[in-house]
Structure 1
Amino acid sequence: MEETTKPIPSLYEWAGGMPAFEVLFTKFYDKVLQDPLLEPVFKHMSPEHRQHVAHFVAEVLGGPTLYSDTDDGSHFKMISKHLSKHLTQEHRKRWVELLLETADEISLPDDPEFRSAFVAYLEWGTRIAVINSQLDNVNIDDQEPMPNWGWGVPGGPYMG
């Protein structure tokens, strides 16, 4: 009898699909708007901001291309949104802290493989945001491809 192996799910699939990301970023931005450090940065965000970020992160983690296709977004446009915002490491750390706190509250998967890949993406993305926030313009192609974040070194979910 041959043993069949299931394909490794994307991080997006493992997290619970779009509903998980929409809940995550809705609840997260509720916290952001109550946070003394982050509220001044985000108080003027558009009503669509939460959904756009949910779509962006979901797409990066292997989900559908809603950000690129229906939100008229791109990696270049996401980078451009951070220009001249002058974000600090304190802003970045607090943003990540609140997002991970929210991930725990909504029971996003907490197996070490998923969280390792998820946190690695958050670290990478938020550090790029801080760097770009110090610039007035960015010298990249407006067709820069969207990041595509996978499982990394662990290679897939913990099946212990």
Structure 2
Amino acid sequence: MPDTPSLYDWVGGREALLGLTTEFYRRVALDPVLAPVFGHMDPEHPAHVADFIGEVLGGPTLYDPSGHGHVRMIGHHLNRHLTEAQRRRWFDLLLDTADAVGMADDAEFRSAFVGYLEWGSRLAVINSQPGVELPPSSPMPKWTWGAPGGPYIPGTA
């Protein structure tokens, strides 16, 4: 459908993603599993993550306009030695925060969002292990609606 909104537009754009990441990283700082991993993060970290997720969801190229955003993100995870327990806690806390801030919760959006978070967080763990090297290039992931035709809008089907 030509007028199907991007996931980025559907969720509410940068403002909604920044609200999510700001609240999420506030919670992360209080979490005994995640605080040790993220305790040293720059105060701008929530904005950078919001911009990265926004780009993945079809928004503007704000994270790294040079076109090397995915390589840059991979580089942030090298040699961090992330564990599955940390990944799972990150994933669960992000979804809990999405609910708390009132992020779009329709099935089609959440399916696509959860799909990206699962994929991305598992790559972060893989790329954080010893011996992983930064790739010379890696295209920015682009996530879209998982169901054919985009979101379900009641009364239109």
TM-score higher than 0.5: yes
Cα shift at 1:139: 5.0
Aligned-residue identity in percent: 56
**5+ long unaligned stretches in structure 2:** none
RMSD of the TM alignment (CA)?
1.7
TM-score by length of 2: 0.92
Structure 1 length normalisation: TM-score?
A: 0.90
Q: Which amino acid in the other structure matches residue 16 of structure 1?
A: G
**Alignment CA distance shift 1:22-1:73 (3 Å):** farther
**Given the alignment, which residue of 131, 135, 138 partners 1:140?**
135
Selected match of 1:94 from 73, 89, 94: 89
| Counterpart secondary structure, 2:63 | helix
Structure 1 residues not aligned, in runs of 5+: none
Match status 1:152 vs 2:150:
no
1:125 aligns with 2:125: no
Q: Aligned partners of 2:10, 2:148: CA distance in 1, in Å?
A: 14
Report how many residues are paired. 154
Counterpart contact for 1:67–1:73, Cα < 8 Å: no
Residue 46 (structure 2) aligned to one of 39, 45, 50: 50
User: What are the residue-to-residue correspondences of 1:1-16 with 2, within 5 Å?
Assistant: 7-16=3-12
Q: Structure 1 residue runs of 4+, over 3 Å off?
A: none
Contact persistence 1:12–1:63 (CA under 8 A): yes
CA separation in 2, counterparts of 1:134 and 1:146?
21
- The residue that corresponds to 1:26 in the other structure is 22
Distance 1:158 1:93 in 2: 29
